[in-house]
């Protein structure tokens, strides 16, 4: 390539999961024990047969092969409104929803509609790297909030207020968190909502893992305020909820006025989410409540087992925070970065993980573990490999 490219791209690191997958493709792991993948968050189970059988019936319908409205099929958005009324107590209507190609595209729609290059967005660390990569690509400045081990990663309101300036457009949070699994309590989200209102900026919540909040508790009450769209933007994925990550199933919820602007980006970026994906989401919202609840209980079981195994075995890896799908561990190698430890774990123990520094500067001492990928049978084995990892 001889021509210059966008200077924003130069500062963006290569996608971390692709980097780890390249280690694997390059043959870094030659061990005999089966690989255990704690890296990219993907449920180990597939969607239930009732969903796939329903989708199979749609394939011969020529409508399935066509575009939908940019924002998604009306009947699907209506079904989702019903779902949000029961899950969130939401005062919501279909004009406030846009179905997207995963939560990833919902994030891009929100950011392109909200910010110009040079604007700032407050981002809690450790951050979901794709968010910061996206902001950097758009020339938006991520202003980082420090991670407080004592609070388990719940962001501090004083730290937030201190960083709000004239170019701040939003406070961006992920709850339940990726990578630390932190679940921000509903009461704290209400406080944060009041704070953003005071400063007339947006609160953007990425709630990709909301279906793994223990007991399927209501994540928050923000949607029950009829004016929620004045300052709140919600991003979600159905990929983890219905085990449909490859279907690229996501949604943006915001005021009808904001969606109206976001549709200009949607039209030029993707036109619409795939129709079959939209229909899968509607089916899930209508029929899979019990299945989702069962998975939520199972995930809590995986979480508790992982934490118990780690703490009962004098493991040199320490749990700093955890919840939903992830655990955030401190590794015992003071002279190595998280990336180096992650390579070492692959090479010596057949464990795929992510080093802490991909989630923010200064986090070399940590690792992210997606225990949600593993069945209960695999968890003791994964923890054993952490415990017995050779230091050389």
The residues that touch ligand PLP, with contacts defined as CB under 6 A, are 41, 102-104, 128, 174, 178, 206, 208, 237, 239, 245, 250
Residue 151: DSSP 8-state: T
Q: Using the minimum distance from each CB to ligand PLP, give the nearer residue, 239 or 355.
A: 239
User: What distance in Å separates the CA atoms of residue 237 and residue 205, rounded to the nearest whole number?
Assistant: 12
Output the six-digit token pair for 233.
Answer: 């933007």
User: What distance in Å separates the CA atoms of residue 297 and residue 300, rounded to the nearest whole number?
Assistant: 5
**356 close to 339: Cβ distance less than 8 angstroms:** no
Q: Using the minimum distance from each CB to ligand PLP, give the nearer residue, 39 or 113.
A: 39
- Provide the minimum distance between the beta carbon of 109 and ligand PLP in the complex, in angstroms, as a whole number: 12
- Provide the minimum distance between the beta carbon of 361 and ligand PLP in the complex, in angstroms, as a whole number: 19
Radius of gyration of the chain (CA): 21
Q: Using the minimum distance from each CB to ligand PLP, give the nearer residue, 41 or 201.
A: 41
- Provide the minimum distance between the beta carbon of 252 and ligand PLP in the complex, in angstroms, as a whole number: 11
Q: Using the minimum distance from each CB to ligand PLP, give the nearer residue, 296 or 349.
A: 296
In the beta sheet, which residues pair with residue 279? none
**71 close to 97: Cβ distance less than 8 angstroms:** yes
Q: Using the minimum distance from each CB to ligand PLP, give the nearer residue, 133 or 345.
A: 133
- Provide the minimum distance between the beta carbon of 31 and ligand PLP in the complex, in angstroms, as a whole number: 27
3-state secondary structure 129-162: HHHHHHHHHCCCEEEEECCCCCCCCCCCHHHHHH
- Provide the minimum distance between the beta carbon of 27 and ligand PLP in the complex, in angstroms, as a whole number: 26
Closest residue to ligand PLP: CB criterion: 102
CB burial of 113-127 (b: ≥16 within 10 Å; e: otherwise) equals bbbeeebbbbbbbbb
């Amino acid at each position: 390539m001889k021509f210059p490219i966008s200077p924003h791209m130069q500062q963006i690191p290569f996608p971390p999961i692709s980097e780890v997958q390249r280690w694997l493709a390059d043959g870094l792991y030659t061990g005999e024990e089966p690989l255990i993948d704690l890296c990219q968050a993907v449920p180990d189970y597939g969607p239930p047969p009732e969903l796939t059988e329903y989708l199979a019936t749609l394939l011969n319908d020529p409508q399935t092969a066509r575009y939908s409205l940019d924002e998604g099929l009306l009947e699907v958005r209506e079904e989702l409104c019903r779902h949000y009324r029961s899950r969130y107590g939401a005062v919501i209507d279909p004009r406030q929803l846009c179905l997207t190609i995963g939560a990833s595209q919902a994030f891009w729609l929100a950011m392109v509609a909200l910010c110009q290059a040079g604007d700032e967005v407050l981002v809690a660390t450790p951050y979901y790297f794709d968010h910061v990569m996206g902001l950097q690509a758009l020339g938006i400045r991520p202003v980082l909030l420090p991670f407080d081990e004592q609070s388990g990663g719940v962001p501090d309101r004083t730290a937030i207020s201190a960083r709000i300036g004239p170019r701040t457009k939003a406070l961006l949070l992920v709850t339940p968190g990726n990578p630390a699994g932190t679940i921000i309590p509903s009461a704290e989200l209400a406080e944060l909502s009041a704070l953003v209102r005071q400063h007339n900026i947006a609160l953007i919540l990425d709630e990709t893992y909301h279906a793994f909040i223990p007991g399927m508790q209501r994540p928050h009450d923000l949607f029950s305020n009829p004016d929620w769209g004045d300052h709140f933007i919600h991003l979600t994925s159905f990929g983890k909820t219905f085990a449909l990550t490859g279907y690229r199933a996501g949604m943006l919820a915001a005021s009808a006025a904001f969606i109206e602007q976001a549709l200009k980006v949607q039209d030029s970026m993707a036109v619409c989410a795939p129709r079959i994906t939209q229909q899968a989401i509607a089916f899930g919202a209508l029929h899979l409540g019990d299945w989702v609840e069962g998975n939520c209980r199972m995930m809590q079981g995986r979480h508790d087992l992982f934490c118990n195994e780690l703490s009962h075995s004098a493991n040199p890896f320490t749990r700093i925070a955890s919840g939903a799908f992830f655990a955030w561990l401190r590794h015992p190698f003071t002279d190595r970065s998280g990336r180096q430890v992650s390579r070492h774990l692959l090479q010596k123990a057949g464990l795929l993980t992510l080093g802490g520094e991909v989630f923010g500067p200064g986090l070399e001492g940590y690792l992210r573990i997606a225990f949600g990928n593993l069945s209960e049978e695999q968890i003791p084995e994964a923890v054993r490999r952490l415990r017995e990892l050779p230091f050389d």
